[in-house]
């Protein structure tokens, strides 16, 4: 009669521990999210409470925090900030953010080029 090997028992215990967490795998976040989605929420649902100036302030603070933590800001973040600058008529800053989005995430190139071309006309 053989005793169960330590290895075998360890595997069983590990499987047990994993299994108890249930049916969803919580994944680590890839980005520094800050207030990105919260500002989007506020812009639509309670716009009077968070004008574009205030949203930009929150996002720029988030950017500093992301830099300090050496994490990336999420996809779409720079384009969103650019769109806020555009709303305030700050076209140079808007253009810079759209270019940064394109550089950080090449998947955005077609859309960013279109927005940059529209910016040129305005």
Q: Which residues bind other proteins (CB under 8 A)?
A: 1-5, 8-9, 11-13, 15-16, 18-31, 33, 35-46, 49-50, 58, 74-77, 79-80, 83, 101, 105, 107-111, 114-115
Which C-beta is closer to other proteins: that of 21 or that of 92?
21
Which C-beta is closer to other proteins: that of 13 or that of 67?
13
**At its nearest, how many Å lie between other proteins and the CB of residue 100?**
12
CA distance 80 to 108: 12
Token pair in block for residue 113: 């080029």
Using DSSP's 3-state secondary structure scheme, residue 20 falls into helix
**At its nearest, how many Å lie between other proteins and the CB of residue 65?**
11
Q: How many CB atoms lie within 10 A of CB 107?
A: 11
CA distance 73 to 89: 24
């Amino acid at each position: 009669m053989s005793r169960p090997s330590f290895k075998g028992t360890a595997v069983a215990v590990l499987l047990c521990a994993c299994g108890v967490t249930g049916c969803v795998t919580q994944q680590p976040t890839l980005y520094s999210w800050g207030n990105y989605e919260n500002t989007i929420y506020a812009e639509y649902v309670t716009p009077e409470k968070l004008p574009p100036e205030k949203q930009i302030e929150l996002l720029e603070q988030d950017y500093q925090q992301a830099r300090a933590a050496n994490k990336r800001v999420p996809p779409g973040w720079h384009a969103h900030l650019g769109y806020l600058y555009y709303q305030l008529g700050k076209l140079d800053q808007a253009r810079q953010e759209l270019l940064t989005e394109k550089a950080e995430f090449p998947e955005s190139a077609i859309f960013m080029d279109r927005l940059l071309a529209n910016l040129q006309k305005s």
